[in-house]
Amino acid sequence: MAAADELAFHEFEEASNLVAETPDAATASGSDQLTPQGHVAVVVDSGGSYGAEEEAEESDRTALLQEEKQQPGFWTFGYYQSFFDVDTSQVLDRIRGSLLPRPGHNFVRHHLRNRPDLYGPFWICATLAFVLAVTGNLTLVLAQRRDPSIHYSPQFHKVTVAGVTIYCYVWLVPLALWGFLRWRKGVRERMGPYTFLETVCVYGYSLFVFIPTVVLWLIPVPWLQWLFGALALALSAATLVFTLWPVVREDTRLVAAVLLSTVVLLHALLAVGCKFYFFRPLPLEHLAPPLQASSLPPKLLLPPTPRAKAT
Amino acid sequence: MAKAAESSGDPGTTSPRPLFAGLSDISISQDIPVEGEITIPMRSHIREFDSSTLNESVQNTIMRDLKAVGKKFMHVLYPRKSNTLLRDWDLWGPLILCVTLALMLQRSSIDSEKDGGPQFAEVFVIVWFGAVTITLNSKLLGGNISFFQSLCVLGYCILPLTVAMLVCRLVLLAEPGPINFMVRLFVVIVMFAWSIVASTAFLADSQPPNRKALAIYPVFLFYFVISWMILTFTPQ
């Protein structure tokens, strides 16, 4: 029935744009507050443009919001539970948002809605670390099929390396970025910096696109591998840049350019480093043992094992 | 007590008096004995039970625990929605399974190659810290399962993969080749699916319905990693 459709709660494009532009506003949905269900109120903290008669209501609502925002202390379990307060559909929506970055859409404002979660970054990093180790090992298996002289081994230490690298990247780089943005806070008027967790969240979700890319790197065609890598890097870096752009555009041009290019460069370093470490290009491996064999006297010929030089 | 009976009076004739009004008039006379023995009906039974676990033979104790572990193994092999694993959880089963798996998966000490299979400690750490992480994850998402119950379920559901490891070890005694690999792959995949089904049967109900997939995905990743370690095992 049309009447029922009108009464149902619809997400409006203008509302989300409004929220994205005014970062101090907070939408209060019916489930969080004591307001009746389905009632959406946009509350502007600092000097809203609403009429005077609504100010009394607003002050009540802001007081309510501030009371609710008192989080439990960091030593309680409830504090950490607030970072895992997401549903399956929300996580899937955030992943979709990181896969399809659009120039106007800021990941933090549109998808996170000021409620960052730690579930996504943690499990995306864990999945990526294991997928890297597993597919790296698989390429060795496939290479051995084509060339039986290559020695196969499970290479279990790569799991440790992958895990440490990715987790350090997702925690230390956002820490540096957050610190830098806070330091430059004075220069900006309109938009406040993101919280540390939001930065970690953006980085974590932006790494999702590498998971299918790493699986596709199993195809042993070099130019295809570089193509997929470039595509994934472009998508991932675009998410980061579109998220950071509203924050840095008020800064001086030099600082903005340097910051964005550093972010993209670090991301590219991670991608290229992973490609070279876990998917060692096979021609090098294939050529090295014969060279080694020919230069040594026959008595000291070693069986062809993966060279230790790159580890 | 005779006085109390008198003072309560006839309910029909006099005006209604509040209940127990005459209680304050009771006085206990000296000749009513108030000493004696209070016997609890179950007392003798409890006493027997206490002394029996202390004085029973070691064989009885071990057999009782082994039977409990064996019963839970049966529940994992034929997963139905029962909460035996949850109600009387124990960590003996997971310990036995983890040690067996780690002993079979470790690389031999002769093989000092840098990139070989996992060490004993690596397998142990992956299994236990993986289980702890998944439990923390499900608790943080709002599940109502206790910490050790979840560890118990995840540990017991490694049983199909341990069976797969044994089968793979036996298959590897035969000639290496593609058929060898196919058989091992098939066995590992079947056991992996069995583990997931078994643990989902026990764990899924404890999560809120809109977060079930979020809680089950780490379990999938955990058993996938263990299956991968089993599949890539190569005897040196």
Q: Supply the pLDDT for residue A80.
A: 83
Average pLDDT, chain B: 81
Of residues A215 and B204, the one with the higher pLDDT is A215
Q: Supply the pLDDT for residue B113.
A: 61
Q: Supply the pLDDT for residue B193.
A: 94
Q: Supply the pLDDT for residue A148.
A: 78
Q: Is residue A83 a part of any domain in this protein? A: no
Residue B235 has pLDDT above 50, yes or no: yes
Residue A49 has pLDDT above 60, yes or no: no
What is chain B written as a DSSP string?
Answer: -HHHHHHH--TTTSPPPPTTGGGGG----TTS--------TTHHHHHHHHHHHHHS-HHHHHHHHHHHHHHHHHHHHS--S--HHHHT--SHHHHHHHHHHHHHHSPPTT---TT-S--HHHHHHHHHHHHHHHHHHHHHTT----HHHHHHHHHHTTHHHHHHHHHHHHHHTS--SHHHHHHHHHHHHHHHHHHHHHHHHHHGGGS-GGGHHHHHHHHHHHHHHHHHHHHT----
Q: Is residue A161 a part of any domain in this protein? A: yes
Q: Is residue B162 a part of any domain in this protein? A: yes
Q: Is residue A30 a part of any domain in this protein? A: no
Instruction: Give the highest mean pLDDT range of A99-103, A290-294, B81-85, B187-191.
Output: B187-191
User: A156 and B228 in contact by Cβ < 8 A?
Assistant: no
Instruction: Give the number of domains in chain A.
Output: 1
Q: Is residue A177 a part of any domain in this protein? A: yes
CB contact set of B216 (below 8 Å; sequence gap of 6+): B200, B203, B204
Please tell me if residue A59 touches chain B, with a CB cutoff of 8 Å: no
Write out chain B residues lying below 8 Å of A130, CB-based.
Answer: 221, 224-225, 228
Q: Is residue A77 a part of any domain in this protein? A: no
Q: Is residue B75 a part of any domain in this protein? A: no
Please tell me if residue A292 touches chain B, with a CB cutoff of 8 Å: no
Which of A93-102, A149-158, A183-192, B190-199 comes out lowest in average pLDDT? A183-192
Q: Supply the pLDDT for residue B162.
A: 94
Write out chain A residues lying below 8 Å of B137, CB-based.
Answer: 84, 119, 123
Write out chain B residues lying below 8 Å of A152, CB-based.
Answer: 234
Asked whether A91 and A127 are in contact (CB, 8 A), the reply is: no
Instruction: Give the number of domains in chain B.
Output: 1
Which residue in chain A is spatially nearest to B228 when comparing CA positions?
A134
Residue A300 has pLDDT above 50, yes or no: no
Q: Which of A79, A153, A10, A266 is nearest to B115 (CA)?
A: A153
Domain extent, residue A126, equals 88-279
Confidence at B109, pLDDT banded by 50, 70, 90: low
CB contact set of A84 (below 8 Å; sequence gap of 6+): A117, A118, A119, B137, B140, B141, B142
The pLDDT tens digits for A103-154 are 877 777 777 777 888 899 999 999 999 999 999 888 888 888 888 777 777 7
ipTM of predicted assembly, 2 dp: 0.72
The pLDDT tens digits for A22-39 are 544 444 444 444 444 444
Q: Is residue A60 a part of any domain in this protein? A: no
- Alpha-carbon distance of A236 to A159, in angstroms, equals 23
Write out chain B residues lying below 8 Å of A85, CB-based.
Answer: 142
DSSP state of A209: G
Q: Supply the pLDDT for residue A158.
A: 85
Domain extent, residue B212, equals 90-107+115-230
Q: Is residue B208 a part of any domain in this protein? A: yes
Q: Which among B117, B139, B210 is the nearest to A87, CB-wise? A: B210
Q: Supply the pLDDT for residue A304.
A: 45
Partners of A34 in beta bridges: none
Residue B97 has pLDDT above 90, yes or no: yes
Q: Supply the pLDDT for residue A307.
A: 46
Find residues 193-222 of chain B whose CB sits inside 8 Å of chain A: 210-214, 217-218, 221
Q: Is residue B41 a part of any domain in this protein? A: no
The 3-state DSSP class for residue A28 equals: strand
pTM over 0.80, yes/no: no
Partners of A41 in beta bridges: A28
Distances (CA, A) of B33 to B5, B28, B37: 19, 10, 12
Q: Which among B116, B218, B229 is the nearest to A153, CB-wise? A: B116
Average pLDDT over residues B185-205: 91
Asked whether A217 and A138 are in contact (CB, 8 A), the reply is: no
